[in-house]
Every structure is written in structure tokens, then in C-alpha cells.
Amino acid sequence: MEKGNILIKNASEIVTCSGFKAKAGKEMSDLKIIPDGAVIIEGGIIKAAGKSDKILEYFKDTSNYQVIDASSKSVLPGFVDSHTHFVFGGYRAEEFCWRLNGVSYMEIMQRGGGIINTVKATRSASKKELYNSGMKRLDSMLSLGVTTIEGKSGYGLDCETEIKQLEVMDELDRAHPIDVVKTFLGAHAVPEEYEGEEDKFIDYIITEVLPVVAEKKLAEFCDVFCEKNVFSVEQSKRLLLKAKEMGLGLKLHADEIVQLGGAELAAELGAVSADHLLQVSDRGIKEMARAGVVATLLPGTAFSLKEPYAKARYMIDNHCAVALATDMNPGSCFTESIPLIFALATIYMNMSLEEAISSLTINGAAALNRAETIGSIDVGKKGDMSILEFPSYKYIPYHLGISCVEKVIKNGRVVFDKERKGEKICW
């Protein structure tokens, strides 16, 4: 049997999410479902998708294929988690408990905790330690149907540690079935050695760190925490313009705690995505829609910080392309849970289930500039998909907080199988 050759047949439905670019507004509701479907993956690439009887009629010799009978099961594209900070040292369970007692995320940060706490632990962690903990988190994501993620640096805030984080992600990308897309977030916080000197720190990132990242091709995107008491719109713009000049795509942590104008900046610079957006202005939303910036919403973070959810409904009704992601990180949202994100988006954010699925597939791919190669079950795309243990995608939020994913297929190979009780499948 050839590697990367799979025939999935008799599926109760193939939720194709068909498309090759971000879906905006109403387009997000159409999942382009094929009932009684089959998919052929050859050499890791999708070769055909259609009605089972039609596909099987033309496709008789299955000797070179792993054949999976998906009767009474739904098939979906692999999920794309387009915003994570999954490589880090140490944990911050203490801070979580302080937050439960009413201390705010920004207060903890101003007291020298928060991101800086993780920076200390990440600076002192060995590459091996970061690799091992990152690997476990990837395993957990894979079991939930995730086949591509974005991972950010930002817990180094110095050249050596930022590079260390990005190199660990690079190694994990090669060693694990999940594809890891790397983002440089050197301006994630002001380190102690630059306290009160934000401009000088941005200068340092621009002159000393960014050129190394760009030259070694260690990241595809540059991100910045554009927030009151972190980096201003002007400082963020200065950094992002340099990053653009050096060939990186742009992302922003924008308008998360305070309405600062991050979304408007994202639109002005042609960023690929603006993320968080809990406090975004209506003007910012309209400008993002016009400029084609993907609005990446992170409801796990709003939930964990007890902040109001982003205005997903208003964004979609105003023709934005919305993506959803976990924001997996040790502070504001320590979770890999795709089921949690589905629950929050559909129950609290007024998103339909169809919109939520588009947000975690084709629009997640678009938020990583990859809508042409992943995020849907379309001929020519990577053979990345999952098979649910239920006949319909409607079971996803209905089975509250529990993953419905039975098998995960990456590049045409089964890389996770619930029935094999979590045993690690060789990659």
C-alpha cells in the first residue's frame, strides 16, 4: 500500500468547506456538504471528492489504498488553529487563581507577573525541555482534529531566546504530523531590562532581532501586542512596516483590553489578520472587511479573563471574514480545546455552527495565507481531514466540551485513531 493513499467511502456526509480564499459574511454559512460521500487521497493530496456511488464506479482497483468505511460518520477538513503560543517554559497556575479572586490580567502584568513570568522560565529552559512540552501539546491538539497551527515566539524578548523558541517550533514542525506556521512576536511585552523604554526596545527588536529572524527564514509572520501600557499604535506600526519590508506577513494582537485602533492599523498595513478584537470599534470592523483582514477571534481568552466576547455577529453581518482559534498560552488561555471554542462561539457569540466550522477551517487557513492549500476538502489540497464518530457535524457543539473526532488524517495518512486508545502512531 502506497503511503498517503486513502479512500474514504460511504461517509454520511463530506463537509467540504470548499473554497480557495477567506469566506466573508454570508459565505461563511455554506459548508458545501456532499451527502453519502467519498474522498480519494493520493500521495497525500486530495484527488477526488463526491458521491460515494459515483467515485466507486470509476475507482475499482483499491489495492494501493487504505480503504476506510465511514458509514454513519461525518468527514471534515482538518482544523486550523491559527493563533497559539504553544512553546513556552513554566506555568502560571498561581496567577490563574489570583484572577479568580478578582485581580485583573493587566494588573498582574503591571506587577511584573504575566508574560514576563513566562519570559523568565522560557529564557532558562533548555531547547529539549521546550521541545518535549511543545510535543505533548501538539499531540493533544492532533487528537482534537487539528492538522495545522500557528505558533508564536514572544517569551524570549531577547535575540537568543526568540530564536530558540522559533527553532524549537521548526524542529517540532518536522517531527510532528501537525504543520507549524511560525510567527515572530518579539514585541510581546517590554522586558525588565528595557522597563520604561518601549521605543528603545522596539529599536532593539527592529535592528537586532528581526533581521536575524528574516535572514534565517525562521518566521513567516510578524506580530505585536498593540495595547495600552504595552506597545502603542505608532510603535506597532514602526515595527510592522520594517517586518513587511523584510518580507514577513503581518498580524496584530489588536484592541484586546482597550480600544486603541489596532484594527484600523491592521487594515492600513494590509495585515493578514487582526486578533482578539474584544474592544474593536465599528469603524475598525468595517475597515478590516474592506481591506480583507481576517478577524481572528479567541473566545477561550475572553472566557478565561471574564471579558466580554468579541462582536462576531456584527463582524459577519458587516462582511468580515472571521476565524476562530484557541490562543493556547500559559497565561490568558491555557487550553488546546477546540470543543471549548465551538461551544463558546455557538452558545455565547451568536455564531451559527456553520460559521464556526468555516472559521476553524478555510478561514483559519486564510489567516495563515494558506487558503489555497489547506482548510477545505478540495481537489489539489493537502489530504488533511478528520472523521467524526457521529453522522453529522451538528454533534460537534451538541456533545458539549468533548471531542467527536475519531480519526485524523494528515497528508493522506491516519495519524490519530481514538479506537487505538491514544497510542502514538508513528509519523
Distance CA 131, CA 114 (A): 22
Piece of 13-21, 192-200, 311-319, 326-334 that binds ligand NIG (CB under 6 A): 326-334
Rg of the chain over Cα atoms, rounded to whole angstroms, equals: 21
Ramachandran sector of residue 422 (left: φ over 0; alpha: ψ -120 to 50; beta: rest): left
Q: Count the residues of the shown chain that bind ligand NIG, applying the rule CB under 6 A.
A: 13
CB of 331 to ligand NIG, least distance (A): 2
- At 344, give phi and psi (nearest 5°): -65, -45
Three-state DSSP class for residue 167: helix
> Cα–Cα distances in Å, from 96 out to 41, 185, 230?
44, 23, 21
Among 330, 339, 364, 375, interactor with ligand NIG by CB under 6 A: 330
Q: Report the alpha-carbon distance of residue 381 to residue 28 in Å, rounded.
A: 19
Any contact of residue 223 with ligand NIG (CB under 6 A)? no
Choose the one of ligand NIG, Fe ion, none that binds residue 330, judging by a C-beta under 5 to 8 angstroms depending on kind: ligand NIG
Among residues 23, 73, 85, 242, which is the contact residue for ligand NIG, using CB under 6 A?
Answer: 85
Helix ranges (DSSP H) in 101-194: 105-110, 115-124, 127-143, 159-175
The answer to whether residue 164 forms part of the interface with ligand NIG (CB under 6 A) is no
Please state the closest distance from residue 92 (CB atom) to ligand NIG, in A. 7
Nearest residue to ligand NIG on Cβ basis = 331
Rounded least distance, CB 119 to ligand NIG, Å: 9
Taking CB under 6 A as the criterion, the residue among 179, 256, 287, 355 binding ligand NIG is 256
| Nearest residue (beta carbon) to Fe ion | 327
Q: Which stretch binds ligand NIG (CB under 6 A): 308-316, 325-333, 348-356, 396-404?
A: 325-333
Closest CA to 237 of 260, 214, 209, 220: 260
What is the amino acid identity at position 320?
Answer: C
Ranges within 289-348 binding Fe ion (CB under 5 A): 327
Residue with cell 489539489: 380
Residue 225 binding partner per list ligand NIG, Fe ion, none, with a CB distance cut-off of 5 to 8 Å that depends on partner kind: ligand NIG
Q: Which residues does residue 180 pair with via DSSP β-bridges, in sequence order?
A: 149
Residue 416 Cβ, how far from ligand NIG at the closest point, in Å?
27
Q: Does 378 bind Fe ion (CB under 5 A)?
A: no
- Which of Fe ion, ligand NIG, none has residue 82 at its interface (CB below 5 to 8 Å by kind)? none
Interface pick for ligand NIG out of 332, 358, 363, 386 (rule CB under 6 A): 332
Among 176, 253, 370, 382, binds ligand NIG (CB under 6 A): 253
Residues 6+ apart with CB under 8 A from 275: 83, 223, 251, 252, 253, 254, 296, 297, 298, 325, 327
Size of the site for Fe ion (CB under 5 A): 1
Q: Does 81 bind Fe ion (CB under 5 A)?
A: no
How far is the C-alpha of 240 from the C-alpha of 274, rounded, in Å? Answer: 13
Positions in 169-188 near ligand NIG (CB under 6 A): none
The residue from 331, 375, 397, 412 that contacts ligand NIG (CB under 6 A) is: 331
Q: Beta 179-187 vs 221-226: how paired, if at all?
A: parallel
Q: Which of residues 294-313 bind ligand NIG (CB under 6 A)?
A: 301
Torsion angle in degrees (nearest 10) through CA of 39, 40, 43, 46: -50
Map the footprint of ligand NIG across residues 93-122, applying CB under 6 A: 114-115, 118
Residues 6+ positions from 130 with CB-CB distance below 8 Å? 87, 88, 89, 122, 164, 165, 168
- The residues in 94-153 that bind Fe ion, with binding defined as CB under 5 A, are none
Residues that bind Fe ion (CB under 5 A): 327
Judged by the rule CB under 6 A, the positions of this chain that interact with ligand NIG are 85, 114-115, 118, 225, 253, 256, 301, 327, 329-332
